[in-house]
């Protein structure tokens, strides 16, 4: 493959850990990050549970002034990007900063700030609204803050494709390197939407689990008794480089991005297309771009939200693409532990996939107790499993019919 793209750094802020290793260790152990909502009083809400980030202090990381002028959404995105930067041992200098960029996506942006400032407007009047409202609410702010903080002046934009955002961001960042716009790209997604407005909206939509008395059991992708997704928050960032650039600086190469697909269902604003048709086309695109055969894929990190429609449609889509081979490929949803980070999900799950490849370990789907006849694949139930992995697929699907798939590979010096 020409213009090979490799991962050389990773960072995570998640409900199960505020760094890559803690997150990975908890994922492998099957530990849930879901609990009662503490960000606000949720006693009147149908859903009172979420996967919140814990022990995160933006003031300690960025100082009180900078922290105050960023939404929690940007806090997570910037913190995970700084981790990835430090992990990569990349040196940013005047000689290379114009060739380093960022695609950091968010499905919703600074919703917490928007909600608070709307209350200020209605209760105290327009002159009391924060002058930082606009910059704090925009979906592109996290990427902008990464550029400002690290002094990178290459291409920089945000992807907004709902829950497909993080995966689209990584795929598009890889394409930017392939077409020669940059040598290095920060890429991923961030979200911080566990606020009254969004939780109320999802409750009204009946999309979320109401298993309030058993929060750690609430997210149960592919299980017959699933009753909706659990909202999560956090961010995942990877650093992508052209292979030539990474090798020239002696970088530690973690994994390789070998395939990318992006499609739209053109079907319904929230429901997936029948039999996951759009998702199937997306996976087929990713396979075609990678030059791989279905037999090469050793694991699929599913979108797996724990909703009735999504899990059924994704299972059908995998069967469409892989045929009988689908029954031989382990498929798991780490959202069973992290909840659904929405725009941040693809970034976090790309990091999990890279760790899976590096450690030849399959993450489990926890809370899998009762098989669903319409979801009959190997979902790696309840316990992680060792397996040699050369190529893994990661799926993300979002409202609006957005589908995104990336394929990661174990790095090898020569292409096959």
For the chain, domains (ranges, CATH) are 5-248 (3.40.47.10), 259-409 (3.40.47.10)
> Residues with Cβ < 8 Å from 247, sequence gap 6 or more?
none
> Residues with Cβ < 8 Å from 274, sequence gap 6 or more?
267, 313
The pLDDT tens digits of the residues spanning 124-156 come to: 999 999 999 999 999 999 999 999 999 999 999
pLDDT on residue 416: 45
Mean predicted confidence (pLDDT) in 354-365: 98
Please name every residue paired with 372 in a beta bridge, in sequence order, or none if there are none: 375
> Residues with Cβ < 8 Å from 194, sequence gap 6 or more?
37, 39, 50, 52, 231, 232, 233
Question: What's the chain's average pLDDT?
Answer: 97
Within 10 Å of residue 388's Cβ, how many Cβ atoms? Answer: 9
Mean predicted confidence (pLDDT) in 180-198: 98
Cα 133 to chain center, whole Å?
25
Q: Supply the pTM of this predicted model.
A: 0.97
Per-residue confidence at 3, pLDDT binned at 50, 70, 90? Answer: confident
- pLDDT over 80 at 1, yes or no: no
Most distant CA pair in the chain, distance? 64
Whether the CB-CB separation of 210 and 228 falls below 8 Å is answered with yes
Pick from 169, 186, 185: nearest CA to 177: 185
Catalytic residue ranges: 163, 303, 340
The b/e string for 127-158 (b: 16+ C-beta within 10 A; e otherwise) is eeeeeebebbbbbbbbbbbbbeebebebbbbb
The pLDDT tens digits of the residues spanning 18-65 come to: 999 999 999 999 999 999 999 999 999 999 999 999 999 999 999 999
Mean predicted confidence (pLDDT) in 295-324: 98
125 class by beta-carbon count within 10 Å (0-12 exposed, 13-18 middle, 19+ buried): exposed
The pLDDT tens digits of the residues spanning 92-112 come to: 999 999 999 999 999 999 999
pLDDT on residue 77: 98
Distance CA 138, CA 390 (A): 38
Q: Is 225 helix (H, G, I), strand (E, B) or coil?
A: coil
């Amino acid at each position: 493959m020409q213009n090979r793209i490799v991962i050389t750094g990773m960072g995570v802020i998640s409900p199960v850990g505020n760094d890559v290793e803690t997150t990975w260790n908890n994922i492998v152990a099957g530990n849930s990050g879901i609990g009662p909502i503490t960000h606000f009083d949720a006693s009147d809400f149908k859903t009172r549970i979420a996967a919140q980030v814990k022990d995160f202090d933006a003031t300690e990381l960025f100082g009180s002034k900078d922290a105050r002028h960023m939404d929690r959404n940007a806090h997570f995105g910037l913190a995970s990007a700084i981790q990835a930067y430090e992990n990569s041992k990349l040196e940013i200098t005047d000689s290379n900063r114009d060739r380093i960029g960022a695609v950091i996506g968010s499905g919703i942006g600074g919703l917490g700030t928007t909600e608070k400032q709307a209350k200020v407007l209605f209760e105290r009047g327009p002159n009391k609204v924060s002058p930082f409202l606009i910059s704090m609410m925009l979906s592109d702010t996290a990427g902008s803050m990464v550029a400002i903080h690290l002094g990178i002046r290459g291409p920089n934009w945000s992807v907004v494709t709902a829950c497909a955002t993080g995966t689209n961001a990584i795929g598009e960042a890889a394409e930017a390197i392939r077409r020669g716009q940059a040598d290095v790209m920060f890429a991923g997604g961030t979200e911080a939407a566990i606020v009254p407005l969004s939780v109320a909206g999802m409750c009204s939509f009946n999309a979320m689990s109401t298993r309030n008395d058993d929060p750690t059991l609430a997210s149960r992708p592919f299980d017959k008794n699933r009753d909706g997704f659990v909202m999560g928050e956090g961010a995942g960032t990877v650093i992508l480089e052209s292979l030539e650039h990474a090798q020239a600086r002696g970088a530690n190469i973690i994994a390789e991005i070998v395939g990318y697909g992006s499609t739209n269902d053109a079907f319904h604003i929230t429901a997936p297309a029948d039999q996951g048709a759009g998702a199937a086309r997306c996976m087929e695109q990713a396979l075609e771009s990678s030059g791989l055969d279905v037999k090469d894929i050793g694991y699929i990190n599913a979108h797996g939200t724990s909703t009735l429609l999504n899990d059924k449609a994704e299972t059908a889509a995998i069967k469409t693409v892989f045929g009988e081979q689908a029954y031989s490929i382990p498929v798991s949803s780490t959202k069973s532990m992290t909840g659904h980070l929405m725009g941040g999900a693809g970034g976090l799950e790309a990091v999990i996939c890279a760790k899976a490849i590096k450690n030849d370990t399959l993450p489990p789907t926890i809370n899998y107790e009762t098989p669903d006849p319409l979801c009959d694949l190997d979902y790696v139930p309840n316990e992680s499993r060792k397996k040699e992995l050369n190529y893994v697929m990661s799926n993300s699907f979002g409202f609006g019919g957005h589908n995104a798939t990336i394929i990661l590979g174990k790095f090898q010096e020569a292409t096959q």
